[in-house]
Each structure stands twice: as C-alpha cells, then as structure tokens.
Structure 1
Amino acid sequence: MIDSDDLMGGEAVIEIVENQLAENNPARVKETLMRLMLEGVEREEAIQYIACALCVELVDVVNHQATFNEQRFNTNLDALPEMPWAEDL
C-alpha cells in the first residue's frame, strides 16, 4: 500500500501537476492555480496544495483499486487551500 505521506511529499506528484498545467488537462488544475495565486498563495505552495488534492485520488486508486474520482478531485480543488479530507488520509 502507498503511504499518503510519501505521496504528498513526492516529486512525482508535483511533476504530474506540472504536466497537467502544461497540457491544461484537466483545465480545473490551472483554474485552481490561478485562483490560489490571486488569493495571495505563492505558486510553489499552490502547486503543493493541488498535489495534495491529487494524492487523495492516487491513494484511493492504488490502495483500493478504485477509479479516479474526477468529481471528488474537482470538489477538493475547489476547497483549496482548505484540506478537509486531510484527516482521512
């Protein structure tokens, strides 16, 4: 099983987010980055927040053989910088 702490601090997850931004896919990731930066969050920190939201899905996919839950991912992106799911990881 994947340890969520390993994922959240992992360079691989940051790289995935950067790739999503470069490809603008999903567009919600770029929208979230722009929103967070407009709220005064530095880019690097905003990327880390987005990576945390992505980790929720990665942990579920790997540990529970679940499919990527895009709706939950979008909901979690919308909640940033708050992370109400953190106690579940």
Structure 2
Amino acid sequence: MKTNEPLKNQIFEIIENQIRENNPKETNITYKRLIELGYSKTESKQFMSQYMAIELLDVLEHKKPFNEVRYVNNLKTLPKEPSK
C-alpha cells in the first residue's frame, strides 16, 4: 500500500505536539519507553501514529468523538502492533 505522505506528516505532527505538550501524558511516557527499548525516534512515532490513525478514522468515518481512553490504553500496548 502506498503511503500518503501528507497525511503521515500531519499525524506525526499531532504526535509531536502531544509529546511536547505532555497531553495526554501517556504519549510522552510511551515515546520515552519505546526509545528506551531501542527504537529510533522515527520508529517510535510510527508505532504511535498507527493508533492515532485508528482514532482519526473512527472520528471521520463514524462521526464518533475522539476516544482518548482507548487511544491511551492502546499506547500502553506498544510496541505491539494494532490488531485488525
């Protein structure tokens, strides 16, 4: 599947803002944990962006509010990839 670079960049920007603003705090905690596990900064953001994409898709396709609880719980499972 071809990567949509503009969308990927937007999601990375969201992740970077969450890390910088420490909101939700679990984003920063997860990022640091992945780095400590030996993943690069880019790899860590890629992992995290998978879960952000899931939430954004739910918002856009199903008109649901952003589910921060589910997002945070999913971040805690990283580096495990999302199940389909």
Into which bin does the TM-score normalised by the smaller protein fall?
A: 0.7 to 0.9
Residues 4-42 of structure 1, C-alpha deviations (whole Å, 9 max, x = no match) = x648x6110001111111111111100000111111111
Tell me what 2:54 maps to: 56
The CA deviation at 1:53 is 1.0
**In the alignment, what sits opposite 1:15?**
13
Amino acid at match of 2:54: V
Kept in 2: contact 1:76–1:83 (CA 8 A): no
Q: How does 1:64-75 map to 2 (within 5 A)?
A: 64-75=62-73
The amino acid that maps onto 1:35 is: R
Q: What is the CA distance between 1:61 and its match in structure 2?
A: 0.5
Output the TM-score relative to the length of structure 2. 0.86
Q: Give the counterpart of 1:81 among 66, 79, 82.
A: 79
- 8 Å contact from structure 2 (residues 55, 71) kept in 1: yes
Q: Number of residue pairs matched?
A: 81
Query: 2 CA distance for matches of 1:17 and 1:11?
Result: 10
RMSD: 1.7
Identity among equivalent pairs (%): 36
Q: Report the counterpart of residue 32 of structure 2 in structure 1.
A: 34
